[in-house]
Every structure is written in C-alpha cells, then in structure tokens.
Amino acid sequence: MTEQLSADDWISQGIKALTKNGFTALKADPMAKTMGVSRGSFYWHFADLGAFHAAVLKRWREIAAEEIIAGVKADSDEPLKALLRRTFGARLDLERAVRNWAAFDPAAQAAVRAIDRRRLDYIEGLLERRGFAAASAQARAQILYWTFLGFALSGSPVPPARLQGLLDEIQKMVAS
C-alpha cells in the first residue's frame, strides 16, 4: 500500500482478521503483511497490542449493538420485529469470534458483558414500550437474548424461509 494507513484502517483489518481467523490473528506482524506495510505503521497508531485490542472491541460494540439499534430506530417496521430480523438475519461470525476471545481474555470478557447488558436493556425497553410490566419485560428480554445467543453460537445456517418462520414464532411467543 502506498497510502498511509489510519488507525481506522488497522481496526477494520483487525475486525476482518478476528472474524476470519480468531483472536490469535490480532497481531501486528501478520496484519502488516496482509496490508502490505511494516509493523511500524501499527505502532504509529497504537501504543501496544492491548490498545489495539481495546480499539477492536470498541468497534465490535459499535457494529454489534449501536449500529443495529440505530438501524432499528430508522426502520419503519415495528421495532421488535425489525430487531429480530436484523439480528437473526445477520452474519454472526464476528459474534462467535469475540465470544471465543472472551473465554481467554479479561478485556474481551468485559466487552462481552457490557454489550450483553446494553442489548438486554434495549430489548427490555422495547418490551416495556409494548406495554409489558418491568418484571415481565426483563424475563422476556432475557429469554429472547438467550435464544439469540444460542442461534449465534450454533453457527448453523438456516434457510431464509425457515428463518422467517422461526422469527414469526419468536415474535408470537414474546407478544403473548
């Protein structure tokens, strides 16, 4: 690469490497080779590997929570239906990679706990706005979230028509 890389370029490459090869791929040398630059470019932007990992985890939180929530808010569909469609219809390789990383790294584990809380709070809020009492919204949000995590971590592809049928059933279960 002839152009100078930004920290964002490195973080984007880190997300790609994490998704494809897992957290052990988040190292300056192999990523620099992939990007066609020296590892000095990496250290220009990040004090050390820990700072880079923190930036990758921050980006994951943006992708896996904030961007989805913003998309749901912008969607004209009913929010819970839009959320289910966006989360269950997404590629979840990055979700699995970060959760695997969290099994070995305290910082990744803290990021997972933070995003779990953010997502649960958001789902609870959606359910409360639908008229559910706080305790019921909290219980239903937890069940929905466990359902999502099971789906995400299974890694099994579901044909679109079958997925839509499952999402319809999930929506009915939550609504009743």
Summarised one tens digit per residue, pLDDT across range 140-154 is: 999 999 999 999 999
Is the model more confident about 155 or about 62? 62
- Contact between 123 and 136 under an 8 Å Cβ cutoff? The reply is no
Q: Which residue intervals of the chain are DSSP H helices? A: 7-21, 28-35, 39-45, 49-61, 67-74, 79-88, 93-102, 106-129, 134-154, 160-175
The domain ranges of the chain are 7-175
Mean pLDDT of the 23-29 span = 95
The top-level CATH class assigned to 7-175 is mainly alpha
Structure tokens that stand for 165 in this block: 């049928």
Distance CA 72, CA 68 (A): 6
The yes-or-no verdict on residue 10 having pLDDT over 90 is yes
The pTM of this model reads 0.90
